[in-house]
Amino acid sequence: MSAKEQKLHLNAFLYGTGHHEASWRYPDAKPELGLDIRYSQQLAQTAERGLMDSVFLADGYAGRSNKLEPFTQLAALAMVTEYIGLIATVGTTYNEPFHVARKFASLDHISGGRAGWNIVTGAQSAAFNFSRDEHPEHSDRYHDAEEFVEITKRLWDSWEDDALVFDKNAGIQFDNGKVHEINFKGSYYSVKGPLNIPRPPQGYPVLVQAGSSESGKELAAKTAEVIFTAHQTMEGASSFYTDVKSRLAKYGRTPDQLKILPGFSPILADTEAEAREIDEELNGLTATEEAVKRLSLRFGVDLTQYPIDGPVPLHAALETEEVNGHKSRHQLIVELARNEQLTIRQLVNRLAGARGHFTFTGTPIQAADAIEKWFRNGAADGFNIMPQLLPSGLDIFVNKVIPELQNRGLFRTAYEGRTLRENLGLVRPSNIRAAISNQI
Amino acid sequence: MSAKEQKLHLNAFLYGTGHHEASWRYPDAKPELGLDIRYSQQLAQTAERGLMDSVFLADGYAGRSNKLEPFTQLAALAMVTEYIGLIATVGTTYNEPFHVARKFASLDHISGGRAGWNIVTGAQSAAFNFSRDEHPEHSDRYHDAEEFVEITKRLWDSWEDDALVFDKNAGIQFDNGKVHEINFKGSYYSVKGPLNIPRPPQGYPVLVQAGSSESGKELAAKTAEVIFTAHQTMEGASSFYTDVKSRLAKYGRTPDQLKILPGFSPILADTEAEAREIDEELNGLTATEEAVKRLSLRFGVDLTQYPIDGPVPLHAALETEEVNGHKSRHQLIVELARNEQLTIRQLVNRLAGARGHFTFTGTPIQAADAIEKWFRNGAADGFNIMPQLLPSGLDIFVNKVIPELQNRGLFRTAYEGRTLRENLGLVRPSNIRAAISNQI
């Protein structure tokens, strides 16, 4: 690896008052700012001050939530930042490729090339908000998603990069020979095109993927440039890393074309004792009963019928194959309970910090140690930073962990470029249509 | 009318380099800034300096265009303005009520209550970008739109205004008794709800309508709070105004609950002669051949087969009833050609300025005269200002026409409130669900 390739990539996963499910009850927390754009602007500016690659907003289309919609929110964040990438989850199952391709193109133009798309298929509960009787099966959703992404790429490519002419004398705004219909007819969608906005500055937004099931890994190997993934141990992360990177070759891709960023969900304080105190306080604030009910839904078994300080009744839980959605997370949780022989209460507390992502409690130096260890042992190209408390957890990470990583030569001391692709070290994709035109 | 009610409302319709179709060829024009958010930020800031009620972005889902997508663009504009309303066209035929309700709610939260939705059904050419074989019929689209709007209202109302609790001690974020499923099952959509974002600051975004066909007028009378409309004469505007206002009573609405804003598309200069010069220069830059082809499509007859300086062959044109989409505009153009006995070239030039909207060439004082006359004669509650040249036309309007209107007591000298509703003098809609809960 060259010196440049040895740098970490760091994403800041913004998530209300923090990733710990009880974070909103913490004394400092201001959950009433969930819809206040100034709150997330400050978080994005903090992450940019730390030279982080990107901020990320998760999303879904059902349930009660107290947060803004990602496209509108990220466009607003673009106005108060200059370098940091802006990644949004957008699901494929209940959207149209034309709308999604266009909104990402617009966000990419507005931000000067900083958009990223976390591609998910979507959750079961959304079906009923979109006139559907049922949620499609896992593999069906993945085939749909594959076609969906293919269409968006063709739409972004429907404008060649030099299609805009603006020749006032000749009266020509667009070179019509460089704006193409795509005439896509697939199993799920047919889309004529062209897109009604010119090609994004980055060519395509950076394509991110978060599913880690078998189909998720395969789709990622084929199309993703960044993976957000959840692992409880360095060994698990490392074997996932090796597995996914080894799948790239068959799609003609090299390992550096895909950055794997496991979740890293810290509670940080100047001393270990202080950090542990925060952790205990947060666990004390966790609504255990509610969490047991949620876990019951995931496992398909009513856990309230079992003693909370007894073992997790894994024999009664659904098999991963029976689950439609969040398959890999299901598997991770089952393995966590089995490998560490957890009680129901212990499992609930382990999941409260970051829903199955790797949690960490300690000092900034210890956090840097953990990050360096995973990175040097081939378990990660960087991390998806998920502070259990926000904004304080991001402040400490940027003020104390990042300088330590910089001192160790593991993280940038200035942005490499202005676009997210440039900072992630990803090439701008060439235009398929332009390549075809040139052959003719 | 009270003194307050006598004030005009003014919207700035942002449209690339201006509403004249040849504006981009004008010497000063910078069409290459179409995707540069700083360009539209400056326009929005100019309109806000002029205390205008709102800016408006038209939209569609097909064709070649060099502009940003409205939700992302308006969210970005919200960050550099404080008072001005932010109105976007969003079509119903190729969208989902859940997505649209949510994005407007998010924009309304981000902007502190400044969002407006121009409800359109959508154009024929979009069908092929959304896996459809054909565009639904006019009346079918309107029934769909009516149901669509009804669902969005119920989704915005699915959160009562006081549903957010954040009681840290009790561990309650939302009062679940105040967040409701809507369980809507209609002819076109079924949507369970609730929406996944709390009720917008304005209750609903301001609802705008632009169709002026029979079904358009009826939908407007039932649901719209602002109408954008096109008229070539004060008499035509006045009879439209009377017609629409008279339809309100049957829906239990009063005339002041709907603001009618005809388009006003000026070329302004300090002397009439200078303004005429600009007009002639723009007409000289118009690509007449292209415009004749577009008019041929609208009329369903190949006009290039007729002498360009001969009369418009209206006997060969489609009847308005035969047109599927833009019905009222079709009728306006046919009547314009008939009443003024125009040649093909004359008609093309008349449409070049603003596609059928009222065009005006003269000084700021003359513009104020025209505006005052329409307003005092019951033809308008205000105007949709559509400068034929941008940014210069908006600069002159704000610097010279608005002060003249203020001197005449016709326009505000300070914003009345912080939300678009407050500035338009529209009440915040009460929550249907809260009303039901209170009855029980």
Please give the C-alpha separations between residue B173 and each of A121, B91, B236, in angstroms, as whole numbers: 28, 34, 54
B391/B373 Cα distance (integer angstroms):
26
Amino acid at A387: P
A340/A318 Cα distance (integer angstroms):
19
Closest CA to A19 of A315, A351, A259, A257: A351
Please give the C-alpha separations between residue B218 and each of B212, B230, B327, in angstroms, as whole numbers: 9, 17, 14
Q: Does residue B177 contact residue B164 with C-beta atoms inside 8 Å? A: no
With CA atoms as reference, the chain A residue closest to B176 would be A64
Query: Mean of the per-residue pLDDT values for chain B?
Result: 93
B252 touches chain A (CB under 8 A): no
A34/A16 Cα distance (integer angstroms):
6
| Residue A142 annotated in ligand binding | yes
Contact state of A62 with B196 under an 8 Å Cβ cutoff: yes
With CA atoms as reference, the chain A residue closest to B201 would be A35
Pick A162 or A324 by higher pLDDT: A162
Residue B328: pLDDT above 70?
yes
With a pLDDT cut of 70, the percent of chain B lying above it is 98
Q: B119: which strand partners?
A: B90, B209
Q: Which two tokens stand for residue B317?
A: 């044109």
State pLDDT tens for residues A67-93.
999 999 999 999 999 999 999 999 999
A32 touches chain B (CB under 8 A): yes
Contact state of A31 with B166 under an 8 Å Cβ cutoff: yes
Q: How many CA atoms lie within 13 A of A332 on its CB side?
A: 23
Find tokens 């209170």 and name the residue. Answer: B438
From the CA of B309, how many Å to the nearest CA of chain A?
22
Please give the C-alpha separations between residue A395 and each of A47, A86, A392, B89, B305, in angstroms, as whole numbers: 8, 19, 5, 39, 71
A21/A349 Cα distance (integer angstroms):
10
Residue A381: pLDDT above 80?
yes
CATH superfamily ID and name for A7-270+355-439: Luciferase-like domain (3.20.20.30)
How would you classify the pairing of strands B226-229 and B206-209?
A: parallel
The pLDDT score that the predictor gives to residue A16 is 97
Chain B residues within 8 A of A109 when measuring between CB atoms: 35, 37, 68
The pLDDT score that the predictor gives to residue A248 is 96
B184 touches chain A (CB under 8 A): no
The pLDDT score that the predictor gives to residue A146 is 92
Angle between helices A138-156 and A214-223 (to 10 degrees): 10
B11/A373 Cα distance (integer angstroms):
59
From the CA of A221, how many Å to the nearest CA of chain B?
28
A350/A333 Cα distance (integer angstroms):
10
The pLDDT score that the predictor gives to residue A437 is 58
From the CA of B252, how many Å to the nearest CA of chain A?
30
State pLDDT tens for residues B132-147.
988 888 888 889 999 9
A131 touches chain B (CB under 8 A): yes
Q: Which two tokens stand for residue B353?
A: 């300025």
B235/B412 Cα distance (integer angstroms):
26
- Count CB pairs under 8 A between chains A and B: 168
With a pLDDT cut of 90, the percent of chain A lying above it is 79
Amino acid at A80: V
| Residue B212 annotated in ligand binding | yes
State pLDDT tens for residues B50-109.
999 999 999 999 999 999 999 999 999 999 999 999 999 999 999 999 999 999 999 999
Question: Which residue of B67, B130, B197 is in closest CB contact with A65?
Answer: B197
DSSP states of B284-320:
HHS-HHHHHHHHHHHHTS-GGGS-TTSB--GGGSPPG
Question: In the CATH hierarchy, which fold is given to the domain comprising B8-271+357-439?
Answer: TIM Barrel (3.20.20)
Neighbours of B22 (CB within 10 A): 24
Mean pLDDT of all residues in B247-260: 96
Contact state of B73 with A78 under an 8 Å Cβ cutoff: no
Please state the ipTM of this predicted complex: 0.95
The pLDDT score that the predictor gives to residue A325 is 73
Closest CA to B200 of B166, B156, B153: B156
